Structure 1
Amino acid sequence: MYLADSRAGKATAAAPAAPADLPARRRAAVPGTVLALGAVSLITDVSSEMVSAVLPLYVVAGLGLSPLGFGVLDGINNGVGALVRLVGGHLADRGGRGHKAVAAFGYGLSALCKPLLLLVHSVTLIGGVLAVDRTGKGLRTAPRDAMISLATTPEHRGRAFGVHRAMDTTGALLGPLLAFAVLRAAVDGYDAVFAVSGCVAALGVLVLLLFVPSPPRAEAATEKPKLSESLTLLRLPALRRLTLCAVLLGLTTVSDAFLYLLLQRQLDLPTRLFPLLPLGTAAAFLLLAVPLGALADRIGRRTLFLLGHGVLLLAYGVVLSAGGAGFAVALGVLLLHGLFYAATDGVLAAAAADVTPPGQVGAGLALVGTGQALARFGCSLLFGAAWSLWGGHTALTVTAVAMAAAAVAAWALLRRNASEVAA
């Protein structure tokens, strides 16, 4: 079912097995670079999730935005960064030390946006700040993941990305808790959340600059790639099909914010408890990211990627059939949601690294990530419009049917590639 098995001895030509004389840091399943980047992501995610936890309620309840308007805003939050991912990956690939420099610029740009939320109070201006924030995220994602890939041997990439995503998710777990505490303690709760978030983001940038090593120059490509050459990576059948699968499934992946809004309205939760909803997702992701990353190294990363979307489809089904069943059902949905992320997030990055030439890892990861992010941007717009027209329940029903069809198409694509590899 999957493009290429990631076990030792089966590495593709695009990602050859690491030679036996690699330094100890490359032979380690979880090198120090991965742990340092994980610490940066943990701190940064505390900052980001503080804002994400309160933003839906702030703009819908506080500013009176409609579901369609929030769909546009959420699409900006998730999709604008995709437009610069290719640039970030391309710039990082142009030099062995470019990965850290581009990542640092991206983290710094996002950190500057958090205090700006204190100064804007209209949907248009908030959307502009979020666009800049997501630009920073788009710039840093591919270089960061490329550094993880370059620091890890191919047979251990699933585990390494799992460790990184587990540390990242620890921040996602702590962020809503901190936002909840700030909302309860501060008079101007939203402004206080934005201010604390900015301070935490600045700390993340400092940790990156001080503790994350730059990749050695010897690991960079001998010739600096052109941006047009990055786009031609889609001529590689394995990478093209993986990107197409990510796009198809991304078009039917409802954003976290919409899922939490559905649960909050279905259960009629008090607004002060809304920032706690992401905790169920984050807790499951944290517990399962490492074991599922290791499982992906054994059974194939594309296989687990598809299974993860099956879990998300099950979560949709539970939401649709729950009615007003209570907190137990909500907890089950959040656990399935976290399981979905553990089986797909870092796993997709590891899968993309497997089928990308070593000198263009940043660009290859950016291509796959860009396709997925743009697809999720489209899903946010379509789901927001469908909710406004038909209601949340019907909108989710249509999305679930579309995801089932997309999963079948993705399975056929990956199975076809597996047959070609075997031949």
Structure 2
Amino acid sequence: MYLSISDRNGGKKDLASADLSPAGPRGKPFRLSPVILCLGLVSMLTDVSSESVSAILPLYITGFLGLSTIAFGILDGINQGASAIVRIAASHASDRLGRPKGVALAGYGLSMLARIGLLFASGFWALTGVVTADRIGKGIRTAPRDALIAVSAQPEYLARHFGVHRMLDNIGAASGPLLAFFILMLVPNGYGIVFVVSLAFAAVGVAALALLVPNLKTGAPGGSKPAGKTGPAWGFRWRLLREPGIGRLLVAAGILGLLTVGDGFIYLVLQDRDSFAVQWFPLLYVGTNVVFLVLAVPLGRLADRWGKARVFVAGHVALLACYLLAAAPLGGLGPTVACLVLLGAFYAATDGVLAALASQLTPPDKLATGLGAAQTVVALSRMAASAGFGVLWFALGPSTAMTVVGSCLAAAVAASWFILRGGLRQRTAV
């Protein structure tokens, strides 16, 4: 077993076994690593940048530029999945180099450069190029950053450490839309001002990563292969999928990702139902991200004690409830706030928990590759989900389309639980 924790008798307890048991980790007290705190600060600044843009993008595309929901579905799909193009290569490069900070810095830098492109992009194809570059930057940086978190965290509190990082990350994710809201309140159609402010925060985030985060080693020293292992030096290691548990995790994450439509579509459904003023639209992102940051640490702690797979699946149950509530003919503030709470709970129960699960089931010398594989599967499946939902909306209307996706998600949640449980038992047996 790659990660283990001490039990009360001083022996070793398998983390996969612990994930199937409600008994929580025992041993050392929880201590937050300064590295994780610094990475959280970098993510917070970067998310102020990215989420201030994401909060206005649905209205900017469908309202200001006058493009269709199909066009938005394509762009939102790119926003969800373009990062998958480079995730595996970047994560494998991080493992081979054994120094993930440099790879992560390249990704953050590319996203910063994409913010400059937003100042000049005004058509569909120009926006497509800018969004793709930004998401490729995200794909480069995410797995190396999570690898830094994994090696800096206490193994018995892995999900909680990821939860702390996601909490800091979502302080930025909540602040970005709020910033966009105030800018649009003061300057109607002030999208260009939002783009300039976004660039400034991205630049500060890159500087913080370069100056504050140490260049830690991960995996085997110098990126060397473990004894007895053969295979390509710079390609994806397909044998990783045969590691007990990780293959099943990727299947379950992929199935659920195919039924996870972009947040922008959920918010457009709510706006279509209630017809509230467009300047209030960014506050929907604020509400979701506030719930995310409030619940990230408690649900990470619950995942360490109750089981990561249980919390991960429960998060998708919250997403299902959000879909059904958004599709219901219930207008007003109460149902809208309930949707935001459920969506924030979904992210808090799945984002960091998925990274913790992948870290738990991946060998140390392939840590970034395992994280990258999980993130790639989720990104590709969500890209397909957003593009497909745009077409479904166009054909059936928003409420009916949301009901159809919700019905399929109900079946996927049940199937994914059995897939994950089998994978964890497989890892425990090994």
TM-score by length of 2: 0.90
For residue 108 of structure 2, what is the aligned residue in structure 1?
Answer: 107
Deviation of 1:405 (Å): 1.3
For residue 164 of structure 2, what is the aligned residue in structure 1?
Answer: 163
CA contact (8 A) 2:151 2:218 kept: no
Letter in 2 for 1:143: P
Distance (whole Å) between structure 1 residues aligned to residue 219 and residue 58 of structure 2: 46
Q: Residue 144 of structure 2 aligns to a residue in which SS? A: helix
Deviation of 1:265 (Å): 1.1
For residue 90 of structure 1, what is the aligned residue in structure 2?
Answer: 92
Q: Trace 1:242-281 onto structure 2 (pairs within 5 A).
A: 242-281=249-288
CA contact (8 A) 2:35 2:213 kept: yes
Choose from 10, 14, 37 the match for 1:11.
14
Q: Residue 14 of structure 2 aligns to a residue in which SS? A: coil
Letter in 1 for 2:53: V
For residue 297 of structure 1, what is the aligned residue in structure 2?
Answer: 304
For residue 340 of structure 2, what is the aligned residue in structure 1?
Answer: 334
CA contact (8 A) 1:6 1:301 kept: no
Deviation of 1:419 (Å): 4.2
For residue 399 of structure 1, what is the aligned residue in structure 2?
Answer: 405
For residue 50 of structure 1, what is the aligned residue in structure 2?
Answer: 52
Q: Residue 119 of structure 1 aligns to a residue in which SS? A: coil
For residue 379 of structure 2, what is the aligned residue in structure 1?
Answer: 373
CA contact (8 A) 1:157 1:350 kept: yes
Letter in 2 for 1:209: A
Is 1:29 the counterpart of 2:31 in the alignment? yes
Distance (whole Å) between structure 2 residues aligned to residue 46 and residue 249 of structure 1: 27
Deviation of 1:418 (Å): 4.1
Distance (whole Å) between structure 2 residues aligned to residue 327 and residue 220 of structure 1: 55
Identity of aligned residues (%): 46
Letter in 1 for 2:206: V
- CA-to-partner distance for each residue in 1:232-255, whole Å, 9 max, x for gaps? 211113000001100000000111
Distance (whole Å) between structure 2 residues aligned to residue 258 and residue 223 of structure 1: 45
Distance (whole Å) between structure 2 residues aligned to residue 166 and residue 7 of structure 1: 27
Distance (whole Å) between structure 2 residues aligned to residue 314 and residue 7 of structure 1: 38
Distance (whole Å) between structure 1 residues aligned to residue 6 and residue 300 of structure 2: 13
| Distance 1:90-1:158 versus aligned 2 partners, 3 A rule | same
Distance (whole Å) between structure 1 residues aligned to residue 406 and residue 421 of structure 2: 22
Q: Residue 97 of structure 2 aligns to a residue in which SS? A: coil
For residue 38 of structure 1, what is the aligned residue in structure 2?
Answer: 40
Aligned-residue CA RMSD (Å): 2.2
For residue 311 of structure 1, what is the aligned residue in structure 2?
Answer: 318
CA contact (8 A) 2:244 2:427 kept: no
For residue 181 of structure 1, what is the aligned residue in structure 2?
Answer: 182
Is 1:203 the counterpart of 2:204 in the alignment? yes
For residue 78 of structure 1, what is the aligned residue in structure 2?
Answer: 80
Is 1:238 the counterpart of 2:245 in the alignment? yes
- CA-to-partner distance for each residue in 1:214-234, whole Å, 9 max, x for gaps? 114786465157233533211
| Distance 1:38-1:411 versus aligned 2 partners, 3 A rule | same
TM-score by length of 1: 0.92
For residue 21 of structure 2, what is the aligned residue in structure 1?
Answer: none
| Count of paired positions | 408
- CA-to-partner distance for each residue in 1:313-367, whole Å, 9 max, x for gaps? 111121222x142011100110011011110000000000001010111000000
For residue 23 of structure 1, what is the aligned residue in structure 2?
Answer: none
CA contact (8 A) 2:218 2:365 kept: no
Deviation of 1:115 (Å): 2.0
Q: Residue 235 of structure 2 aligns to a residue in which SS? A: helix
Q: 5+ unaligned residues in a row in structure 1: which ranges?
A: 15-25
| Distance 1:279-1:200 versus aligned 2 partners, 3 A rule | same
Deviation of 1:181 (Å): 1.5
Distance (whole Å) between structure 2 residues aligned to residue 261 and residue 354 of structure 1: 37
Distance (whole Å) between structure 2 residues aligned to residue 422 and residue 364 of structure 1: 18
CA contact (8 A) 1:29 1:159 kept: no
| Distance 1:318-1:220 versus aligned 2 partners, 3 A rule | farther
Distance (whole Å) between structure 2 residues aligned to residue 290 and residue 359 of structure 1: 27
Distance (whole Å) between structure 2 residues aligned to residue 217 and residue 10 of structure 1: 23
Q: Residue 10 of structure 1 aligns to a residue in which SS? A: strand
| Distance 1:7-1:230 versus aligned 2 partners, 3 A rule | farther
Q: Residue 237 of structure 1 aligns to a residue in which SS? A: coil
For residue 21 of structure 1, what is the aligned residue in structure 2?
Answer: none
Q: Residue 253 of structure 1 aligns to a residue in which SS? A: coil
